[in-house]
Each structure stands twice: as C-alpha cells, then as structure tokens.
Amino acid sequence: MSQELRAVDWTGTGLTLIDQTRLPHRTETVDVRDVDTLVDAIQRLVVRGAPAIGAAGAYGVALALIQGEREGWSEARVREAVARIREARPTAVNLMVCVDRVMTRFTEGLDAVLEEAAAVQREDVDANRAMGGYGADWLLKKAGEDRPLRILTHCNTGALATAGWGTALGVIRELHARGRLEVVYADETRPLLQGSRLTAWELVQEGIPHYVQADAAAAGTVLRGEVDAAIVGADRIAANGDTANKVGTVGVALACAYAGIPFLVAAPTTTVDLSTPTGDGIHIELRGEDEVLEWAGVRTAPAESRGHNPAFDVTPGRLVTGLVTERGVLEVSAGELPGDRLR
C-alpha cells in the first residue's frame, strides 16, 4: 500500500495533501487551491519532511500561477506568493532548492512549471529507491553479515516525508524486503510525535516489527547493545557533513559514536547545501512554546513556565558514519566530505 501512498499529490487543478496532523487515527486529506492554504499547511506540518515539503513547494509554483490567473494578480504578485512558499520553513533546504528549480521555467508558463514539478517528484522517488539499495548494501556489509538487523530511527522519513518510499525509512523498507530486518526502534519524536504517529503507522502498513520508545530511551537502547545501527533523514547538510535534522538526532548520533555502531544519514543530494560550509551557518527554526507546554491543547506544564522549542539540531559531520545519497554512501566521519565529493 505505501508504494502508492502519496503525501503530496497533484490532482490536475490543485494539490491534495494527506493531513499528517490527523494520523494515525484518521486518514484525511486537505485540498489546497491557494497559496495561503499551502503556506499554512507547511507551517502547521500538515505536510512535513524535507523532501515532501520540497515537492509541495514545487507544485506550489503552479498553484500560485493558477491562483494569480483566477484572481488577476500581477506577475510581481505571483512571484511574491512564490517567495512566501519558499520561506515557509527556514531549516530545510529542499523547499528552497525545489522552488528555485521550478522557477527556472516560470516564464515558460503553467505547463512547463507543472512538468518540472512532476519531475521533482518523480526524481525524488527514484532517488529514494536508489538510497534504499545503497543504504541496505552498506549496512549489510558493515553490520549485518550474520543476522537480521535491529535498526533505530528518529522522526519520520518514509513515504509521508518524501515524494514516496522514503529516505531513512526507505533503507529500512529495503532491508525488510530483503528479509534482513529484525526490528525497528522508532523514537516517538516529541513534541509532535512524528515517530509514534507517522513512522509507526507506515511500519504497520508494511508489517515491519517495531517498538515505539520515548526519545529519552534512545541513548540507553543504543548503549545496552539493543540495536545494530541508527539511520535518520536530514533537513540540510553543510559541506563538511554537519547535518541539521529533527531535534533529538544529535543525541542518537552521540550514543552511536560512544557505542561504536554506525550512524547513517539518508538524504538526497538536494539536501546538501554546498554554500553552507559548516552547521554553524544553518538557521535552526524555533517553533511555538506551546508545542512543549501543552498536549493536544491541554496544558501540562505550569501556566507560569516558558518553553524552549528548537525544531532541529545539528549533528557534527564527524559523528556521521555514512551519508546515504542516491549516488552512493559517503563515509563522512572517515573524511569523505560532501563538499569534496558532491561539487
């Protein structure tokens, strides 16, 4: 089922998004016909995951053109609307890359824009499939010669987070397809529970055995030897391999380094931002305090407390054992830096 799962789907006249804030209990979609709705959907995480946001942003250019036509906008106003889509979330680079790519065909008109957006989406699925193969090959060679693997992952990087199939979760699905996966430990991923809501939901669809655990359990699970490797996605990767990903990722990386097991990042090369030399240059989105002070609208902390809510953290490249891309695996901590290998 999940091979056909489309978090982001162009219907011919608009964009249909699976409302990821409603999963796992309700599978609802949102029909997006205007730019405001799209920007809101990106900011509220109706659609999330760097590659999925990228695909949504790519189609967003078409949406802006159609809305502009319908409402009689000037070209400047259409471009301004596209700029708002492009900046709806600050950390993921795919959104900007995908919007910019589609905008190279802006002056050719709607058909060209739609053709380019479809190519963005198709190429992302192809890239995910390639990553799945490279990542599974690498893991089986390094850690899985003798028995099925136990893999830890953080946040959601599956079909919901991409144009289809998945990045880190794509590698996990490939291992499962090859009969070489024992179990997945899915960090629940507070504050918004993309792990327990979305990753677990995708794993259930695939029939993959898994445990959901508190994010705080991840380091102990790794140190007790309960997993063979961890694999996560990325929102932006600097030239030196420093990787911005969902908050909590660097804690997993530190535990893997201490335990001496592989820590992999799976992401398409569009996630690598060669113009950013190190992670210090990556802007970390601070989201609303209520996400950590409340639960489903009910306050859990005292009324007087403040919240600190960085949505991402930066894992130093020296902790990244392997970066799985659609072109192969870079052994970053061993010195294969994206800035050298991907220019």
> By the criterion CB under 8 A, which residues form the site for a second copy?
24-25, 154, 185, 187-191, 193, 196-197, 200-201, 203-204, 209-221, 223-224, 246-248, 250-251, 254-255, 258, 284, 292-293, 295-296, 298-302, 304-310, 312-314, 316
Quote the least distance from Cβ 191 to a second copy, whole Å: 5
Q: What is each CA distance from 143 to 92, 135, 260, 305, in whole angstroms?
A: 30, 12, 11, 45
In 3D space, the residue among 227, 266, 228, 252 whose CA is nearest the CA of residue 319 turns out to be 252
3-state secondary structure 113-135: HHHHHHHHHHHHHHHHHHHHHHH
Taking the least distance from each CB to a second copy, the nearer of 204 and 274 is 204
Quote the least distance from Cβ 326 to a second copy, whole Å: 28
Taking the least distance from each CB to a second copy, the nearer of 37 and 245 is 245
Residue 223's SS3 state is: helix
Q: Which residues are catalytic?
A: 235
Quote the least distance from Cβ 74 to a second copy, whole Å: 43
CB-count burial class (<10 Å; 0-12, 13-18, 19+) for 145: exposed
Quote the least distance from Cβ 90 to a second copy, whole Å: 16
Taking the least distance from each CB to a second copy, the nearer of 118 and 284 is 284
Taking the least distance from each CB to a second copy, the nearer of 133 and 307 is 307
Mention every residue, 6+ apart, whose C-beta is less than 8 A from residue 237: 243, 244, 265, 267, 271, 272, 273, 323, 338
Sign of CA dihedral 5, 10, 12, 15: positive
Quote the least distance from Cβ 59 to a second copy, whole Å: 29
Taking the least distance from each CB to a second copy, the nearer of 24 and 133 is 24
Phi-psi region of 155 (alpha: psi -120 to 50; beta: other; left: phi over 0): left
